[in-house]
Amino acid sequence: MTTLDEPRKRGLGRGLSALLGEPVAVAVVESATHPVRHLPIEQLRPGRFQPRRHFAQDGIDDLAQSVREKGILQPLLVRQLANDSFEIIAGERRWRAAQAAQLHDVPAIVRTLDDREALELALIENLQRQDLSPLEEADGYQRLMQEFSHTQEELGRVLGKSRSHVANMLRLLALPEAVKKLLEQGHISAGHARALLTAADPLALAQRVVAQGLNVRQTEKMAQSIARGGEAGEKKPSGAEKDTDLIALERSLSNLIGLHVTIEGQSKGGSLSIHYNSLEQLDDIIARLSSGGLRE
C-alpha cells in the first residue's frame, strides 16, 4: 500500500487515492477488500484527529430525524484499536446522530491506518463536507500544510476550491483571539473578519461592527478610512497620505502571508513591517522566510 511517507512529489490527490482506492475525492465506499460492517454503537470512539470543535445540537437533532426515517446512507470510516474498540476517522456526526436516534449499530468500513494517515483523512473528509466553521476550516488547511507539506494549490484542487479561497481562509488565523471568538459565535461573518485583517486595531473595529450592525462592505470602507487616517484613526500630518500603490502592495502582501503588513517610505527608501499576534505566528513567518515558503 502506498503510504503518506513517500516523497511529496506524488501530490495530495494521489496519496489519498492510494489510501481509499479512489481517483481523488474522499468518499467512503464498499469494496471487495473493505466491505461494510455493522458495528455496535458502544464500540466506537470519537477520533483524536477530529478538526471540528463544535457539534451544533440542532444539527445533530435534524440528522437524527433523517437517520430514523432513512437510516445511515454513508458508512463511517474507522480503524480498530487494541482494546476491540474502533476510532472514528470520518463520520462522527453520523455516530452522534445514530445515538440520538437510539440505533444499536452503525455501518462502517474498517481500515488499517497509522496516525499520520488517520489525521490527513480526517481533515480532508471534514473539509470536503463544507460544514465546518470558518476557523475550523482554516485550522484544517493550516494543519495539512504544516504537517503534510501540502500547498494551497494542491488543497484547492483536491477539495474543489480555488487557491485564493484557501489563502483567504488561512488569513483568518492572523486575527486576535477576541475577534476569532466573535467569529466563532456568529457575531461577525468570515467576510467581516477578512475586512478586519487590514485594520490597525481589529478588535476595536470588530466591536464597532457588532454594535452598529455593519455589513461587510461598510466594514471594508471603514477599515480603509481608518488606514488613511480618517474616521476613528490617527490623523496623519499634511502631505503624508500614503501612496495608493503602497496601499495596494500592503494588501497584496497581507493576503500572501496571512498577517497584517504595513509599508512606510518615500522614493529613496522606507520600511516594511509584519504585525503578528503571537509567538507562534512569529515562528511561522520566520520559518517560511527561511525556507522560501512565501512562494507557495
Asked if 139 and 174 count as a contact pair (C-beta separation under 8 A), the reply is no
Kindly state the cell numbers that stand for 6: 513517500
Could you tell me which residues come within 8 angstroms of residue 222 by beta carbon, excluding any fewer than 6 positions away? 205, 208, 209, 214, 231, 232
Kindly state the cell numbers that stand for 183: 467569529
Asked if 167 and 194 count as a contact pair (C-beta separation under 8 A), the reply is no
Q: Does residue 190 sit in helix, strand or coil?
A: helix
Rounding to the nearest 10 degrees, give the CA dihedral for residues 101, 104, 109, 112.
120
Asked if 98 and 106 count as a contact pair (C-beta separation under 8 A), the reply is yes
87 given a catalytic annotation: no
* DSSP secondary structure letter of residue 210: H
Question: Do the strands 76-80 and 86-90 form a parallel or antiparallel pair, or are they unpaired?
Answer: antiparallel
Catalytic residue of the set 92, 136, 137, 250: 92
Asked if 187 and 175 count as a contact pair (C-beta separation under 8 A), the reply is no
Rounded CA gap, 223 and 32, in Å? 57
Q: Which residues are marked as active site? A: 92
